[in-house]
């Protein structure tokens, strides 16, 4: 059962978090292009599509911690420090996405943004991506793990 839960957890992370990470990273430059050419319908459509991808896959990403908790519980590692840190970083990444990235994307989609807003958005997106990178490293390295891996 552990292998099944772990496989679903990893696949969910790849399928759900991966698209958010990529689309969120592509959004600020696309928004800058759309701001620079307000009559370019394709640029506006690209911004809208990237925002939609981020919203949909952010919701789908809830599956990742659900199966992560199930996997950790079945493996008996819920109290391990590396996992607790990973959980905290995951929660922080979700907060950054929900409170800083998606609302700023939404404002830019609605036309209420400036070039400076895209720079701040890029910073928050980078923070979101950095948090997920740290979680990924912790999931692979698992400091203090007794699994021998």
Rounded percentage of the chain residues whose pLDDT exceeds 90: 82
pLDDT reported for residue 145: 61
Q: How confident is the model at residue 144 (pLDDT cuts 50, 70, 90)?
A: low
Residue among 54, 68, 67 nearest 96 (CA): 54
* pLDDT tens digits along 13-42: 999 999 999 999 999 999 999 999 999 999
Mean pLDDT calculated for residue range 66-78: 91
- The model's pTM is 0.90
pLDDT tens track for 94-116:
999 999 999 999 999 998 789 99
pLDDT greater than 90 at residue 149: no
Q: For residues 105-133, give the mean pLDDT.
A: 94
> Phi and psi for 80 in degrees, rounded to 5?
-70, 140
* Inter-residue contact 51 to 27 (CB < 8 Å): yes
Contacts of 70 (CB under 8 A, 6+ apart): 5, 9
Q: Rounded to whole angstroms, what are the CA distances from 115 to 4, 26, 110?
A: 45, 15, 14
């Amino acid at each position: 059962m552990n292998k099944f839960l772990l496989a679903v957890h990893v696949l969910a992370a790849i399928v759900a978090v991966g698209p958010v990470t990529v689309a969120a990273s592509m959004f600020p430059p696309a928004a800058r292009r759309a701001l620079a050419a307000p009559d370019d319908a394709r640029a506006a459509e690209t911004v809208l599509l990237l925002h939609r991808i981020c919203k949909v896959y952010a919701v789908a990403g809830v599956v990742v911690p659900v199966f992560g908790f199930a996997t950790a519980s079945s493996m008996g590692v819920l109290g391990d420090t590396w996992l607790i840190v990973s959980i905290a970083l995951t929660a922080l990444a979700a907060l950054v996405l929900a409170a800083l990235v998606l609302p700023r994307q939404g404002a830019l989609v609605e036309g209420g943004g400036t070039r400076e807003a895209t720079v701040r958005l890029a910073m928050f997106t980078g923070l979101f991506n950095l948090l997920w990178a740290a979680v990924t490293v912790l999931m692979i390295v698992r400091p203090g793990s007794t699994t021998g891996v």
